[in-house]
Chain A
Amino acid sequence: MDLPSTEDIIDDLAFFDDWEQRYQYIIDLGKSIPGLSEAQRTDDRIVKGCQSNVWLIESYDNNIISFDVDSDAVIVQGLLALVLAAFNKKTPKAILDFDIDGYFQTLDLENHITPTRGNGLRAIVGKIQELARQHA
C-alpha cells in the first residue's frame, strides 16, 4: 500500500492522545512498507546505528530519487517509514527543500521517539540529502 502523505501522518499522530497509540501507529506504518529481502540486506548496505541494523538501497532515475529501507527493529522501521513518506520518489530539489527537522518537530517525536538516538535515522536522512545534492 502507499504510505500516507507527510501531512496525513502529522494529522494522524496529532489525533492520538496517548503514547501507546502513537507508537502503535508508527509500528503499523513500518509494517506497511515492503522492506528488503534477505538477499538485499547485505553488510555494505548497513547504515550504522548502534542499537539496531538499518539497510538502505537508494537509486536515481529520471530526476527522481527512490529508496528502499529496512530495519530489524519494528519501531525503527516505523521511523524509517516517516522518512520515506517525506523523501521517497521525490526530485532532488523537493528533497532538499523539505524541512525535515521541522517535520520531526511537528510530529512531536522529541517527546516520544528521538531521532537523535542511535537509531540510524539521522544517518539515513543525511545519506538521502547527500544523494539529492549530487543530483541537484
Chain B
Amino acid sequence: MSFDVAALRAQFPILSKTLGDKPLVYLDNAATTQKPQAVIDALMDFYTGTNANVHRGAHHLSDEATRRYENARDTVTKFINASSKDEVIWTSGTTESINIVANGLAQQLNPGDEVVATELEHHANLVTWQQACLKAGATLKIVPVFDSGELDIDAFDKALSANTKLVAFPHVSNALGTVNPIKLLTEKAKAVGALVLVDGAQGIAHGGVDVQAIGCDFYVFSGHKLFGPTGIGALWGRKSVLETWPVWQVGGEMIKDVSYQEATWGQLPNRLEAGTPNIAGAIGMGAAVEWFMAQDIPALQAHEKALLDYATEKANAFDGLTIIGTAPDKVGVLSFLLDGAHPADVGFILDKQGVAIRTGDSCAQPLMKRLGIPGTARASFSIYNTFEEVDSLFAALKKAKMMLA
C-alpha cells in the first residue's frame, strides 16, 4: 500500500507530543480532530498578512481577505459537490447549522405536522427538532434502532407519512459509529415530500460526500471534525430551499436595503450570514478541506477501515469487554464497556497511560437510555492513527481491568 502513515503524522505537530514520559495516543477524533501544519499556517498567514474585514473593501487588504474567504467557500463547494457556492453557508458549526434549519422550520410547522429523527441522534440533531416541534405544536417521531445500533428501516418507513415535513438523521452515529444508508433514507423521505437534513458532523471527515448524489436538502458539518479550526462549519442547503428560508440572525451583511423602520434581505449566501463572519475560521476550514482533498482519500478510507477492523478484532478477543454498537457498516468508532468498571474510571486509567478517549454519554443521553447503559468508553480513530496505537489502547485497557475489575 502506498499510504505512509508516518509521513501523514509528521504533518500534525500535536501528534508528537508526550504526556509525562508517554507518547500521546489520541483516540478522541469523534470529539475533534487534530490540525495539520497547513491549517495552522493558513490561520497564522491570515492574521500576520491579510487580516481585514470582508465584503466592504475600499482597500487592498480587504480585497485580499475577501478573496481568500470566498475561495474557501469555493473549496467547500467543490468538496461536497454542491451545485453552487450560494448553497454553502458559513456557520459556527454543525449545531448552528441545524439551528438555522430548525428555526426556519418552526415558523412553517403547524399542529398535526410531523418531524422524524432517529434514536441515534446526538443532542444537536435532537433538541433542535424537539424544540421546533414544541414551539409549533407539531409532533416529533423517533425511529428506533436495533440493539446493534443499526437503524430499523421498516420502522423508518412506518414513521413517514404525508404529514412528515422534515426528516433528520446522522450520516454516521457519533456514539456508536453506525453508518446510515443515507441515500436510501433520503429517497424514502423525499417520496413523501419531506425535506431531508443529513447531520454530517461525523460523516464528513471520512470523505466521499456528494450532496447532489445523496439527494438531501441540507447537509451540515463542522470544520473542527475535519482537521480545521473550531468555531466554523457549514450549512449546505439546496438553493431552491435556502432562497426563501426564514432568515436566522439579522444585522449587517445579510441585508439589501435598510431604513429605520424596515429592511429587505440580501441574496444567498449572505442572507443567512449576519454580521462580520469568522473570516479566519473559514479560511482555516478551506485550508483543511484543500489539504484533505490533496490526500489519497481511498487510501485513507482503507486505512481507517483496517484500523477499526483491527481494533474490533482485539476488542472481541479481550475478556470482559463488550462492544456497544455492532452494526455491519461502521466507521471510526469503537464504543465499549468493561465488565465491573465504570467508563469514567476506565477513562481515568487510560488517560494516565497517555491514551485519550471519550467517556460518558457522548452527548447522546436518550440513546444511552435506550441501550440501557450509563454511557460508554469510546475510542474514535482518524486517518493518522496507527496499529501500534490500537495496541497501546488495549495494553492500557489491560491495566485498567487489573486495577478496576
Binding site for B on A (CB under 8 A): 19-20, 23-24, 27, 50-53, 72-76, 111-113, 118-119
Complex Cα spacing A113 to B341, Å: 17
Say yes or no: A74-B360 contact (C-beta < 8 A), given A51-B343, A52-B344, A119-B344: no
Q: Are A73 and B403 in contact (CB under 8 A)?
A: no
Q: Are B342 and A74 in contact (CB under 8 A)?
A: yes
Binding site for A on B (CB under 8 A): 20, 341-345, 347-349, 352, 359-361, 374-375, 399, 403-404
How close is A26's CB to chain B, nearest CB, in angstroms?
Answer: 10
Complex Cα spacing A111 to B361, Å: 25
Provide a sorted-by-A list of 7 A–B residue pairs whose CB atoms are within 8 angstroms: A51-B347, A51-B359, A51-B360, A52-B343, A52-B374, A74-B341, A74-B345
Complex Cα spacing A39 to B20, Å: 43
Task: Tell me which residues across on chain A come within 8 A of B404, comparing CB atoms.
Answer: 27, 74
Q: Are A72 and B348 in contact (CB under 8 A)?
A: no
Q: Are B352 and A112 in contact (CB under 8 A)?
A: yes
Q: Are B345 and A73 in contact (CB under 8 A)?
A: yes
Say yes or no: A27-B403 contact (C-beta < 8 A), given A51-B375, A53-B374: yes
Q: Are B344 and A20 in contact (CB under 8 A)?
A: no
Number of A-B contacts (CB under 8 A): 47
How close is B379's CB to chain A, nearest CB, in angstroms?
Answer: 15
Complex Cα spacing A118 to B342, Å: 14
Complex Cα spacing A58 to B375, Å: 27
Task: Tell me which residues across on chain B come within 8 A of A20, comparing CB atoms.
Answer: 399, 403
Complex Cα spacing A50 to B349, Å: 17
**Supplied contacts A24-B403, A75-B345, 15 more A-B pairs, CB within 8 Å:** A20-B399, A20-B403, A23-B352, A50-B360, A51-B343, A51-B360, A52-B343, A52-B344, A52-B345, A52-B374, A73-B344, A74-B341, A75-B344, A76-B342, A76-B344
How close is A35's CB to chain B, nearest CB, in angstroms?
Answer: 14
Complex Cα spacing A74 to B403, Å: 10
Complex Cα spacing A118 to B344, Å: 10
How close is A122's CB to chain B, nearest CB, in angstroms?
Answer: 15
Specify which of A23, A52, A111, A113 is in contact with B403 (CB 8 Å cutoff).
A23
How close is A30's CB to chain B, nearest CB, in angstroms?
Answer: 10
Task: Tell me which residues across on chain A come within 8 A of B347, comparing CB atoms.
Answer: 51
Q: Are A52 and B342 in contact (CB under 8 A)?
A: yes
How close is B359's CB to chain A, nearest CB, in angstroms?
Answer: 5
Task: Tell me which residues across on chain A come within 8 A of B20, comparing CB atoms.
Answer: 111
How close is A5's CB to chain B, nearest CB, in angstroms?
Answer: 25
How close is A8's CB to chain B, nearest CB, in angstroms?
Answer: 23
The 8 closest A-B pairs by CB, nearest first: A73-B342, A52-B344, A51-B344, A73-B344, A51-B360, A75-B345, A73-B345, A75-B348
How close is B404's CB to chain A, nearest CB, in angstroms?
Answer: 7
